[in-house]
Structure 1
C-alpha cells in the first residue's frame, strides 16, 4: 500500500507539477464506485432478479430527472450541507436554496477527492444513476416511487423558477 501511495504521489507530481491533484483520492473514489457497481451486480445475480434487456423509455426518463434532482440535492442544497461540511467550506449562496462551497485545502488527498465529488452534481450523477438503475433491478416498485418523488420535485423547482420569472416580468412592465 505504501509503495502504491509513493507511486501515485510521483505520478501526480509529474502529471500536474504546478497544481495539487489528489490522484490517490480519485483512485479511492473509483474503487468505491467499482465496489458499489459490483455489489449491485452481485445482489442482482444472487437475488435472481432479471435484468431487463432494454430499459423502458419511461424508466429512463424518470431516472434521468430523478438523477438530476438527487445529484443537485446532495451537491448543492443548503439542507444537505452538513453532509458536505467535513470536506468543504461554505463560500456563498448560489440562489434558489443552493450553496457554493470550496473543497477544503490541506488534509488528505482522499478527503480532497471526496470533497470534489460531493460538490459536483455532474460527478455525482454517475453514482446516483448507477444506484437508481441498480434499485430498478433489485426493488423496482420502491425505486420508481422514490424516483417519482424526486422527479416531481425537479419539475416543481422548474415551475417555481418559471413562475418567479413570469412574475418579475409582469411587475416590471
Structure 2
C-alpha cells in the first residue's frame, strides 16, 4: 500500500459512496436485462446457438469495437450522450472526448459507461449475444456491416498515414 496516497484514497472513499451506488444500480440494470432475456428465452424455447467459429468471433469483435466507439466517441452521437456527459476536448478523427457530467450516482455511472468504449463493449457484446439467440440473421447482418465499417475506418486511417508519410 502506498502511504503517500492514503489521504487521497480516504477522501475518495468518503466522496464516492454515491458514485458506488450508481455503479451498483448500473450493474443491477445489466443483471435485470440479462435475467429477463434469459427467462424470455426459456419461455419461448429458444435454443442457444452453437459455438462461434473463428470468423464469427472476429466479426463480432470488430463489430462490437465499431458500435462501442460510435456510441462512446463519435461526434455525431453526441446528442445521445449529452444528458450524461460534458465536452472535454477533441479525440481522434470524427471523435470527441467527453467526461461524465454528474459527480456521483447513476447519472455519473451512465456517463462513465457512455464515454468508455471498453466499458460499453460489455453491453454491446451482450446485445450481440442476445441477438444471436432471438434474431440470428439480423444480428449477423448488423455484425457484418459494423465489421466492414471498422475495416473501412482502418483503411481511411492507413491511407491518411501513408499520405502524410508521402508528403514528408
State the TM-score bracket (shorter-chain normalisation). Answer: 0.7 to 0.9
Out of 46, 49, 58, the position equivalent to 2:46 is 49
Q: What secondary structure, in the 3-state scheme, does the structure 2 residue paired with 1:17 have?
A: helix
Post-superposition Cα deviations, 1:91-128, rounded to whole Å, max 9, x if no partner, equal 1111211110121144x511111111110000000110
TM-score, normalized by length of structure 2? 0.87
Q: Which residues of 2 match residues 65-84 of structure 1 at below 5 A?
A: 65-84=62-81
How far did residue 53 of structure 1 move?
A: 4.4
How far did residue 23 of structure 1 move?
A: 0.5
Aligned to 2:57: 60
Aligned to 2:161: 165
The 1-side partners of 2:78 and 2:144 are apart by 24
Q: What secondary structure, in the 3-state scheme, does the structure 2 residue paired with 1:91 have?
A: strand
Question: RMSD between aligned alpha carbons?
Answer: 1.4
The 1-side partners of 2:39 and 2:126 are apart by 14
Q: What secondary structure, in the 3-state scheme, does the structure 1 residue paired with 2:10 have?
A: coil
The 2-side partners of 1:128 and 1:118 are apart by 12
How far did residue 170 of structure 1 move?
A: 0.9
Aligned to 1:130: 126
Q: Structure 1 runs of 4+ off > 4 angstroms?
A: none
Structure 1 residues not aligned, in runs of 5+: 1-15
Q: How many residues align?
A: 156
Structure 2 residues not aligned, in runs of 5+: 1-8
The 2-side partners of 1:53 and 1:151 are apart by 21
TM-score, normalized by length of structure 1? 0.85
Out of 116, 128, 143, the position equivalent to 2:112 is 116
